[in-house]
Every structure is written in C-alpha cells, then in structure tokens.
Amino acid sequence: FPPLPMAALEREGGGMAARVVAPISSPRLAKCSPSGEFLAAARKQSLQVIDLESSSVYLDGRCQHPVESIFWADDSDLVMACQYKHATIQVFSVRQPDWRCRIVEGVAGIIQCIWGPDSRHILSSSDFGIQLCVWSLVSQTEEPSLVVKKPKDMGNCAAFDPAGSMLAVATRHECKDTIHVYSTSNWEQVAEFGTDTLDLASLSWGADSRSMVVCDSCLRYGLLVYSPVGQLVHRYVAYENALGIRGVSFSPARDRLAICSCDQLVRLMRPQAWNVELVLNHETSNVATLASLGTRAMHETPTGQLLPMTSYPHADLPTLTPDMSKTPPRVGVSMVAWSARGDFMATKNESMPCVLWIWSVNDGKLQSLVVTQHPLRSANWSPTSDRLVFATGTEKVFIWHDREVASVLSLSEQVECKQALSVRWTPSGDHVIVAGPDMVVLLGTTGSRGRGAQEVKEEGAVDGQGGGGEGAASSPDTKHK
C-alpha cells in the first residue's frame, strides 16, 4: 500500500483498503519493528518476520513451544519469542537468519520479559516474585549477569533511565519496599534505599536521570519523587481516605507527567518544579454543558456511522456504576495516550467506557468527545501527526484528526476480520496495523499491493530470506539455569 495521505481521510471510508498480512494466535502476537520495516507475527509455534514493503516472509522461525508474547529489540534486528508456560525464551536475528539463542529459566519459571536498551540484554522475571534475571546475548557464560531476589512486578517496578546507563528495580521483603539501582556497564549495585510507601505500585525515571517517580498502592494516594541515591525530593498527595493513583504517564518530551486517579481526574504535573498545572475533569456527563465549553461531541449510530450530537443537546453520556466488590474496582481514568508532539491527549474513564476524551494539553480544553456503541479497546496516536486511530472490538476502525473523526472503515467489507482488538500506526505513520483474534490486517489507501507480494500460509510454509530451523549459532546457542 502507498502511505495514507490526508486527502484520503476527508470522507467516510477514505478510499482505505485492508489486507490480511499474517495469521496469529492472539492480538498481542503481532508487533511492528521500531524501524517500521518488519512485522513479527506468531501463530502456535511459528514466528514469521514479514517485510511490510513487499509483504514477503523475510524470516520463518520455528519455536519449541507455542509462543505467548513477542518483543522487538530497539535495533530492529533481534526479536524475542516468549514461551512462558515452558520457561523458555527464543531469540531470532533478522539480519543473521542462522543465528539462534535460547534461554531456559528452569523451575523458577518466567512470567515477564523485556529488552535492555542496548538490544543485547534480556530481563526476565519469575512468578511469585522469586527473582529477576538479566541475560547477556554476547557474553560467553551461560549464567545471568544479574539476579535480583524478591522483585515486584517487572512491568511496573523495573525501569531503565533515559540514557540506558542505570536500571532501577523495586523489591519487597518483610512488607517493606526497597529500590535497588544498578549500573548497566557492569551490573553492579550503585545505590539501595527504602521508600515511604504502603505497597509500591510503579516506578519510572524522570527526563534527566536525576529523579525517579514512585507511586504508592491504589489504596492510598501518594506520588513520591526520589533522587537516584534515595533522597526524597517531592511528595504529592491530592486527597486522603480514598482510592488513589491508577497510573502515571510522561509526555513524549518528558516535560509533563499525567497522573491518572480514581477520582476521575487527570492531573498534569511539570517535572521541573513538580507542581500541578492543569486538572482534566472527566465527571461532566451532560452534552449541553460540554457544547457550551466548545467541545465537539460525536456519537456512533447503531449502523456504525459517526454523527454530531447536536440533535441530542440535553442527552447525558452513558455512565456505569462501578462494581466495588471487584479487586481492584474499575473506577477512575484507566488510559492515557499522548500525541507525538505532546499537544493532545486521549483518555478513557472507566465510569464511561464507551466515551473517548481528546484534550488539548496546552490549555486543558476538551477538544473532542466520541461516544461509541461498545467500550474502547485500543487507541494509538500517529508518530508523525495528530491523527488518532482507535477501535472498540468490532469491525469498525476510526481515525480522528483535528477535531474531526474523518474516517470510519468497516473491516468485514474487505477481509474476514470482524473484530479489531488492537490498532497501532507503523513508526513511519503511513499505515495502520490492526490485530484481530486470529489475523493481522494492514490498512492503507487503495493502490498497489507492492512488489513481490505473496500469500502467507497459516503454518509458515512460505520460505523467505531467513530459512528455518535452529541453524548454527555464532554465539552461545543455549543458556540454561
């Protein structure tokens, strides 16, 4: 497909075309490389790397067990296939197809994996908080470079600083939280300090590697800022005796911090002084009130069209009463998505799961509001423009641009995909990758299929440049623990 020009988004449908790229076992088993050149897709024990320009299979890898997650390294060369149930990680190289690496954790198991910023180290964590391991793909030893005992959830409580020179890991022992800081040059500990938290929930670095943002348990509102050596720089508590923070998110330039709370507010904080400059309120539910503030509200009709809500000036937004018996209860703002330049923000409030809020961050104004027939499932901003693609788990894919929902595409009219469960722009911003329950679909404007296109078979029978099999490894083939 050629790129998506703005002219193609001026009318419903926009001349957009959908094409099946590869079969998958789950929506999370389709990932585009950071360079935007390749798409990795997994189905059962097959991992295919597809050239998005030609649609040909560049690498066809076979795993020992069914793949449950895939992750690209930042260099867009290595792709990791995680097989959690069998405590196994397999790594494939796009540019060296014969190179293979396999990591077997053993009885401790594996439940999470992430890449290090140098694309040559892998972090894995075990179930029940047993240990976190750092594995090197270039060392001659089969033992991990670092083992951290009793870590908290690695997805939220382990983070590299922006320079990639330090790794911070939160651990919990005897009901006390501790942060350990390691140098990535030799994986030696450079700092260790306790935190004043009830149960540390998340950890992230500031923009200059001189501060760490720590969020307390959702049972108690607390945001703490520490220096890398453990000095408490700032403490922020918006309220007490109620459910607290659901999550935090830095803007792309890391000059703003969005704090999502259970009180249906998003507080925007400036990291320079750690003061709150804007508060985005998600409690207003009356359409007339929103219209008086200059907000453009649109709603999806039962037939899938998006129309202005001017015909319903006194209507209220659909609101749910949260079930407080669930742990944790689904209340507050659960999603924040920043635009590429940090000028806009898309949010979702769990009390109104069918409403997409789009804010202008510079003045705190609610620019647009979209009411859909089904709860929002996925939303992603273009990396090159202020275009937002979102989906609700149906056959419809929506694209918002400049206060307008300019394009609505029905996937079932062109391909046999009736559920868009995940949507993401390619890094170039030219195409949209849609993941359904069992297939990956590429969206683009109507045009050429590209040179050298060929069909991708379900079991990976198409041979690309990469060949199959384990092959001969140029570095240690297997790491065991």
Query: Could you give the CA distance from residue 353 to residue 143 in angstroms, rounded to a whole number?
Result: 46
277 contact partners, CB below 8 Å, separation of at least 6: 268, 269, 270
pLDDT score of 475: 38
Sign of CA dihedral 159, 161, 164, 169: negative
Sign of CA dihedral 237, 155, 163, 179: positive
Burial class of residue 157, CB neighbours in 10 A (0-12, 13-18, 19+): buried
What tens digit of pLDDT does each residue of 280-327 get?
A: 999 877 777 777 777 888 888 888 888 887 755 557 788 888 777 776
| CA nearest to 57, candidates 432, 473, 438, 468 | 468
pLDDT score of 91: 97
pLDDT score of 288: 72
pLDDT score of 311: 59
Termini Cα distance of the chain:
46
**DSSP string for 398-439:** EEEETTEEEEEEEGGGTSS-----EEEE-TTSS-EEEE-SSE
Q: What is the DSSP letter of 299?
A: E
Question: Torsion angle, CA of 466/472/476/480, rounded to 10 degrees?
Answer: 90
**DSSP string for 308-347:** EGGG-TT-B-------TTSSS---SEEEEEE-TTSSEEEE
Query: For the chain, which ranges sit under pLDDT 70?
Result: 1-16, 311-314, 327-328, 403-406, 445-481
CA 442 to chain centre: 19
pLDDT score of 12: 39
Element at 287 (helix H, strand E): helix 287-292
pLDDT score of 312: 59
Partners of 279 in beta bridges: 267
Q: How many CB atoms lie within 10 A of CB 413?
A: 9
Q: Which residue has the tokens 């979209």?
A: 370
pLDDT score of 402: 73
pLDDT score of 474: 34
CB-facing half-sphere around the CA of 232: CA atoms within 13 A: 10
pLDDT score of 458: 32
Q: Write out the two tokens for 100.
A: 């293979």
pLDDT score of 313: 56
